[in-house]
Chains A and B, each alone.
Chain A
Amino acid sequence: MTIWPEEAIVRRHGETEFEFDTVDMTVNVGPQHPATHGVFRMLLTVDGEVVVDCEPYIGYLHRGLEKLTENADYRQAMGWWDRTDYLAGLNCEGAWCMAVEKLAGIEVPERAEYIRVIMMELSRINSHFMFFGAFGADVGSFGTSFTYAWRERERIYDLFEEVAGDRMFPTYFRIGGVTMDLPENFEARCRWLLGSIRQGLEDLDGLLTGNEVFVERCRGLSPVTPEQAINWGLTGPLLRATGIPWDIRKVEPYSIYDRLKFEIPVGTQGDVFDRWMVRLAEAYQSTKIIEQCLDEMPKKGLVLNPNLPKTLRIDSGEVYFRTEGTKGEYSVYLMARGGNKPYRAKLRSPSFCNLSALREMVIGNYVADAIIILGSLDIVLGEVDK
């Protein structure tokens, strides 16, 4: 008995083989879609399962940050700036404060600088843990990586709440220092937290980095060369994954980063797996930075410059202050022309620039991989849309 009758076999392999005309199909992803990490929409044109074109649409979260800043006092504006990169609000506050301080020539007490660096690095770890959790979910480990990442994030947020009174948007920094000194048990709690973070990194590393499914899906996906990365304007972990050890904390050190010893982790291929590894290593380096700060910081002292004017007025000047945000180069262009308000403030947001290269990265890949590539960019829409 034959399973396939002879005619059928002929039809399958012989003269009657069909050739199908394929039609490109448009798939709309977002703006409300769990894989887009916020209100981001991309219009994929797919041929079967392969992406042939991608058009990103942003602006769903546009709040007019720059216009609002132009109409606010230098100190008031900070409340909007930490809502840009809302996963690491303190880094944004830091960038804003340091830009204004540079423009106005305000000095910051040494202890406040150390406190700032500690808080900014904790924010960086916090943001990277968000990436680890969300990226694991993108790749397919569903809730597991999220749960592991959230354990550490909650602990960091608890510490923020204890120090500054708020979890996500503490508005803890001030132009000229920080609002208040650290609580008494801070050092012990922070050291305990660092151990916890390292354990969390180890857990996530063991959970995903060695996982064959994870590795097979990520390795070699959308490799970026250093030349492409520079031309596309990529910064941060995406640029370092291509092998360029460019970190503004080292290249143009601000605050007290020139006193601290840390390494810049780099990748080799610039692919999605390297981006994952670079962020893991970077979070570990941040724990080392915090440890050094705890060791070296002056135990007593002012945390806010006592000679601040009642109303901060800046006559004229321009500054393009660059900091290493969690996603890349987070810079503030600030122009003053007298008065107590900035004449122009521009945010150079790393997610915005990284996202503009999305189209080139996803074309030619599968739809499922496009989601992973988008996840590996680690965008935060508050920063993209301003």
Chain B
Amino acid sequence: MTSVPKQFTPTRQVPRQGLAEKIRRAVPNHIPLEFGETKTDVDVRLKPEHLLEVVRVLKEHRDLAFDFLRNMAGVDMQEQGLHLKIHLYSFKHNHTVQLTVECPPEEDHPHVPSLTSLYRAADWHEREAAEMFGFIFDGHPNLKNLLLEEDLHIHPLLKAHPLQEPEILQGIEDGPPGFPF
């Protein structure tokens, strides 16, 4: 059970300084982490095999207390492989971190540990990432297609998946369809 403060006083300034340092100290030394910054959050890069351990530390550490899974987004980085962006939030400290899980580029269907044991909210996020990018979430109870049809095994958000060309039924025949950007 996570602790929810009874009197929640929102802070105006979201603390970003020092969060990276706190995470570095909390996570065991044998796990390699790389730190970066996005426009809004601290970015932590890690390998999929360390994900579950790191997230457990982030959730249970007193000074971090990331109790809320905000978002999960797969990104196809082409030659760098698939990345999984996970945004965690702490109600106690009002800070957000972005985890970037860097999967090895040689794997088409990279294995990532499922976070459903820690966050119930991860269920649908993982199903969506699995169908859209081809991640395999180990330990997920029900990794069926969510938004796509049940028997459709394509991964539309991969960059290799083409967008269908618009079909012009009548009108301008010469020249490619659409606007030249």
Contacts and interface: CB of A to CB of B under 8 A. Distances in A.
A251 B10 contact: yes
A319 interface: yes
Given A233-B121, A340-B181, A319 B91 contact: no
Interface in A42-101: 58-59, 62, 64, 66-68, 70-71, 73
Given A71-B163, A73-B181, A340-B181, 15 more contacts: A102-B40, A227-B2, A230-B67, A230-B91, A233-B68, A233-B120, A244-B4, A245-B10, A250-B10, A319-B39, A320-B38, A320-B41, A320-B70, A333-B73, A348-B87
A253 interface: yes
Interface of B: 1-2, 4, 8, 10-12, 14, 38-41, 43, 67-71, 73, 75-76, 85, 87, 91, 94, 96, 98, 119-121, 123-125, 132, 145-149, 156-157, 161, 163, 181
Contacts of B68: 230, 233
Contacts of B4: 226-227, 230, 244
A66 B131 CA distance: 14
A378 interface: no
A246 B8 CA distance: 8
Contacts of A335: 75
Nearest to B41: A320
Interface stretch (A3-11, A275-283, A349-357): A349-357
Interface string A245-267: 11000111100001000000000
Q: Which of B41, B70, B145, B157 has the most CB of A within 10 A?
A: B70
Nearest to B68: A230
Nearest to A339: B181
Contacts of A73: 181
Chain B residues touching A, majority SS = loop
Contacts of A68: 163
A67 B157 contact: yes
Interface in A340-386: 340, 343-344, 346, 348, 352-353, 355-357, 360, 385-386
A251 B70 contact: no
Contact of B43 (A64, A318, A344, A356): A318
A353 B123 CA distance: 9
A187 B142 CA distance: 53
B12 A320 contact: no
A231 interface: yes
Interface of A: 58-59, 62, 64, 66-68, 70-71, 73, 102-103, 226-227, 230-233, 244-246, 250-253, 258, 317-322, 329, 331, 333, 335, 340, 343-344, 346, 348, 352-353, 355-357, 360, 385-386
B71 A320 contact: yes
Contacts of B71: 320, 331, 333, 346, 348
A386 B12 contact: no
B148 A253 contact: no
A356 B121 contact: yes
A233 to B, nearest CB: 3
9 contacts: A59-B145, A230-B4, A245-B8, A246-B91, A317-B39, A319-B40, A329-B70, A344-B76, A346-B71
A357 B120 contact: yes
A333 B87 contact: yes
Contacts of B146: 58-59
B114 to A, nearest CB: 14
Contact of A231 (B2, B12, B149): B2
Nearest to A329: B70
Nearest to A252: B14
B98 to A, nearest CB: 6
A344 B40 contact: no
A59 B148 contact: yes
Given A251-B94, A253-B12, A329-B70, A320 B87 contact: yes
B75 A344 contact: yes
A233 B148 CA distance: 22
A226 B2 CA distance: 9
Contacts of A353: 121, 124-125
